[in-house]
């Protein structure tokens, strides 16, 4: 089969995703839309950076029919600015930078959409307040104290959006999108939870949608018939515990948006402060499509949705079943902008898979540029050394041995091989994956963690890496290999505690991998990610009297906030005892002695699980006689998280 026939046959596997679509008067080449997300790549003064342009260009080159910018705040005071690195559309001086993004998107065959975003309850990042329809206390401490927006300010906000629309048109955008979700300004007016007003902008759902409708009508009038205007709205707030909108009210907001002239609607789920999992791995793929289906039945404009649709089978079926019209991909295309292209060319196994870790999202609230656990090139698309568009070959071909087949070793081997080196990867077990093999069994959704391992294995094999499994090598054996560089990626093991004398000492591997059942009264030593993972695993398996002993001041300091709150909620429901600032100092019989707040305490236990980890030490030798270059990466360097391991491996692979 010829190359073009092969490409076409794979498009035929997903006929709905790759069928042409229409938004307003515009034809769209396929049904894939890269959805807006902040990056913190622009400069702090609101101007677009080269880094942001390069990132957006990569998204356009990846094959989506529509590529949407991050939200741009429309007001000069910065009340709508929710992120330190958020781009602005508040003045004409920002147009040239915005135009650079539009040109890069359109030059690469996609329609360019610009999102206007006033962050409202989550805004005022550089002020000492945020604007809301009513003063409703913040649930999340990093947001600013609320201030009630006046009637005059409401009118000014409408004009801000209209002026922003004019700038978007002048900058060359094909589509304008308004954001009315998750706690941003328009959503706080729409929701009963945050709108307690008694004027014409408060009361029933139609009045609460008045600002949204005025913005849409004004933007539509300013943009003209040739520029479609869409809006993102919340189809299910998940705020029932604090008086949020009913399902019927949320549905009504979409009808009112259509009445106001919206050319499409994007359906979202939850607010940032919702106390229900929305975008984490415990939520099954496609779970929220039933919400989009309700909306699709009542509106006569295209319906879009993202939210846990990471692979093409889910949206393909949803479009075919008439549930949605367009697949919005945000995090999956942060992980791999070439997602559409790889699907269309039958290279699905090469997709760098999003694992719903939400590292990208959480960094925004620490005012840091986004990172991706599985794609180190994020934000470096225009830097040749990082190899997003391919690596240059090394001037000197080396013989490199990577010891350890976890994520750090796999990533390093892959990159080094792409740079032209001869790479051999040695793994003493019969399976690659390292500690991710264990992490993938903590709960049902965690199996998604194996997707990047499989992808990296494929990259290694495709790049010519020789992978040897089930072989325990010694330094002497490597001398015979004639190695130029050795990369130690042997991972970590549990710490040793000589003071603990209990017979019932377990490791995380004993519990999760080998299926051993600890006694009911068990202490877990270590309250970081591994310790919490073990506690969550056991709490879901049966009834235990668990105690977690953590030396630091807080639990889960290495766990993403999107997961930490879930874990702590479950552990509290299961009555797990959580002890911080506590250090194990010894054991007397069944009594574990800890030093807590400078006081000695004793805990009666029948079993102990040690979750604290340290690097594997078997290769901590003088290896100068084996190779001129010796490197340690991943947990072999210092136990950390998955993204640290992958970044260690990638950066070293670049340097070798």
Domain limits of the chain? 3-118+151-180+211-231+258-289+301-382, 393-493+615-655, 496-611
- Choose between 567 and 4: higher pLDDT: 567
Per-residue model confidence as pLDDT tens digits over 65-75: 999 999 999 99
Residue 482 has pLDDT above 90, yes or no: no
* Contact yes or no for 110/64 (Cβ under 8 A): yes
pLDDT at 2: 41
Q: Distance of CA 182 to CAs 266, 352, 365, 459, Å?
A: 13, 27, 14, 37
| CA pair distance 483, 155, nearest whole angstrom | 71
Residue 356 has pLDDT above 60, yes or no: yes
Paired residues of 130 in beta bridges: 146
- What is the pLDDT averaged over residues 528-548? 94
- What is the pLDDT averaged over residues 328-351? 96
Classify 326 in phi/psi space as left (phi over 0), alpha (psi -120 to 50) or beta: beta
- Choose between 630 and 9: higher pLDDT: 630
pLDDT at 4: 44
Of 476, 422, 408, the C-alpha closest to 619 is 476
Q: Distance of CA 449 to CAs 214, 381, 436, 648, Å?
A: 45, 24, 7, 18
Helices and strands in the chain: count of H runs, count of E runs: 21, 27
- The class (CATH top level) of 3-118+151-180+211-231+258-289+301-382 is alpha beta
Residue 422 has pLDDT above 80, yes or no: yes
Residue 11 has pLDDT above 80, yes or no: no
The total of other beta-carbon atoms located within 10 Å of residue 561's CB is 14
The total of other beta-carbon atoms located within 10 Å of residue 285's CB is 17
| CA pair distance 573, 373, nearest whole angstrom | 30
Per-residue model confidence as pLDDT tens digits over 569-619: 999 999 999 999 999 998 888 899 999 988 899 999 999 999 999 998 877
pLDDT at 102: 98
Residue 3 has pLDDT above 60, yes or no: no
- What is the pLDDT averaged over residues 59-88? 98
| CA pair distance 559, 170, nearest whole angstrom | 44
Angle 90-94-100 from CA coordinates, rounded to 5°: 135
Residues making up the chain, counted from first to last: 656
- What is the pLDDT averaged over residues 170-198? 97
Residue 90 has pLDDT above 50, yes or no: yes
Per-residue model confidence as pLDDT tens digits over 237-294: 999 999 999 999 999 999 999 999 999 999 999 999 998 989 999 999 999 999 999 9
pLDDT at 9: 52
For the purposes of burial, counting CB atoms within 10 Å of the CB of 558, is it exposed (0-12), middle (13-18) or buried (19 or more)? middle
Assign 500 a pLDDT band (cuts: 50, 70, 90). Answer: confident
Per-residue model confidence as pLDDT tens digits over 550-565: 999 999 999 999 999 9
Residue 1 has pLDDT above 70, yes or no: no
pLDDT at 471: 86
- What is the pLDDT averaged over residues 627-649? 94
Paired residues of 545 in beta bridges: 521
* Contact yes or no for 178/168 (Cβ under 8 A): no
Which single residue is written with the structure tokens 């907001």?
253
| CA pair distance 32, 326, nearest whole angstrom | 6
Q: Which residues does 539 contact at the CB level (< 8 Å), separation at least 6? A: 546, 570, 571, 574, 576
- The class (CATH top level) of 496-611 is alpha beta
Per-residue model confidence as pLDDT tens digits over 94-124: 999 999 999 999 999 999 999 999 999 999 9
What's the pTM value of the predicted model, to 2 decimals? 0.94
**Average pLDDT of the chain?**
94
Helical packing angle, 95-107 and 151-170, nearest 10°? 50
Can you read off the two tokens belonging to residue 463? 């790049």
| CA pair distance 488, 438, nearest whole angstrom | 20
Q: Say how many Å lie between the first and final Cα of the chain, rounded.
A: 38
Place domain 393-493+615-655 in its CATH homologous superfamily.
NAD(P)-binding Rossmann-like Domain (3.40.50.720)
| Strand, helix or coil for residue 94 | helix
* Contact yes or no for 336/350 (Cβ under 8 A): no
577: part of which helix (H) or strand (E)? strand 577-579
């Amino acid at each position: 089969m010829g190359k073009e026939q092969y490409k076409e046959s794979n498009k035929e596997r997903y006929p709905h995703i790759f069928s042409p679509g229409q938004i307003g008067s515009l034809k769209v080449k396929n049904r894939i839309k890269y959805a807006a997300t902040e990056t913190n790549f622009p400069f702090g003064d609101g101007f677009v950076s080269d880094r942001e342009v390069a990132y957006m260009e990569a998204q356009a080159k990846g094959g989506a029919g529509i590529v949407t910018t991050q939200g741009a705040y429309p007001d000069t005071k910065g009340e709508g600015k929710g992120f330190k690195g958020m781009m602005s559309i508040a003045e004409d001086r920002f147009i040239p930078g915005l135009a650079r993004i539009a040109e890069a998107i359109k030059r690469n065959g996609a329609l360019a959409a610009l999102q206007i975003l006033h962050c409202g309850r989550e805004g005022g990042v550089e002020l000492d307040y945020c604007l809301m329809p009513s003063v409703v206390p913040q649930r999340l401490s990093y947001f600013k104290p609320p201030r009630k927006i006046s009637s005059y300010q409401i009118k000014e906000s409408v004009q801000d959006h209209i002026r922003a629309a004019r700038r978007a048109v002048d900058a060359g955008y094909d589509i304008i999108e308004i954001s009315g979700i998750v706690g941003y300004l328009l959503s706080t007016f729409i929701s009963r939870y945050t709108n307690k007003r008694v004027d014409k902008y408060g009361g029933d759902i139609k009045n609460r949608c008045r600002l949204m409708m005025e913005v849409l009508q004004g933007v539509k009038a300013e943009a003209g018939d040739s520029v479609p205007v869409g809006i993102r709205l919340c189809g299910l707030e998940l705020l029932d515990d604090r008086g949020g909108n009913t399902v019927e009210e949320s549905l009504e907001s979409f009808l009112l948006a259509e009445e106001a002239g919206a050319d499409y609607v994007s359906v979202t789920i939850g607010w940032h402060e919702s106390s229900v999992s929305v975008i984490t791995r415990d939520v099954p793929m496609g779970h929220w499509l039933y919400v989009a289906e309700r909306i699709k039945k009542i509106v006569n404009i295209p319906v879009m949705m993202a939210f846990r649709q990471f692979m093409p089978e889910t949206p393909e079926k949803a479009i075919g079943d008439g549930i949605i019209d367009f697949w919005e991909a945000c995090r999956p295309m942060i992980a791999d902008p070439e997602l559409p292209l790889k699907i269309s060319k039958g290279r699905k196994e090469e997709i760098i898979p999003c694992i719903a870790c939400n590292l990208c999202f959480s960094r925004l609230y620490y005012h840091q540029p986004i990172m991706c656990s599985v794609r180190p090139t994020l934000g470096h698309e225009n830097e040749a050394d990082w190899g997003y568009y391919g690596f240059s070959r090394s001037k000197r071909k080396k013989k490199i041995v990577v010891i350890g087949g976890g994520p750090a070793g796999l990533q390093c081997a892959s990159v080094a091989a792409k740079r032209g080196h001869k790479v051999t990867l040695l793994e003493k077990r019969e399976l690659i994956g390292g500690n991710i093999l264990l992490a993938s069994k903590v709960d049902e959704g965690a199996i998604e963690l194996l997707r990047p391992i499989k992808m990296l294995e494929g990259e290694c094999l495709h790049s010519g890496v020789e992978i040897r499994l089930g072989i325990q090598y010694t330094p002497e054996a490597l001398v015979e290999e004639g190695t130029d560089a050795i990369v130690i990626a042997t991972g970590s093991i549990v710490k040793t505690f000589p003071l603990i004398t209990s017979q019932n000492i377990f490791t995380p591997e004993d519990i999760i991998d080998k299926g051993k059942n600890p006694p009911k009264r068990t202490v877990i030593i270590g309250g970081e990610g591994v310790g919490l993972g073990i506690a969550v695993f056991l709490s879901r398996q049966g009834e235990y009297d668990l105690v977690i002993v953590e030396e630091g001041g807080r639990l889960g300091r290495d766990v993403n906030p999107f997961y930490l709150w879930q874990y702590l909620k479950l552990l509290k429901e299961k009555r797990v005892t959580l002890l911080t600032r506590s250090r194990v100092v010894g054991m007397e019989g069944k009594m574990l002695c800890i030093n807590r707040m400078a006081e000695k305490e004793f805990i009666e236990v029948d079993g102990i699980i040690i979750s604290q980890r340290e690097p594997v030490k078997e290769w901590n030798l003088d290896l100068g006689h084996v190779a001129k270059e010796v490197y340690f990466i991943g947990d072999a360097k210092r136990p950390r998280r998955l993204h640290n391991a992958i970044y260690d491996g990638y950066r070293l692979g670049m340097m070798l």
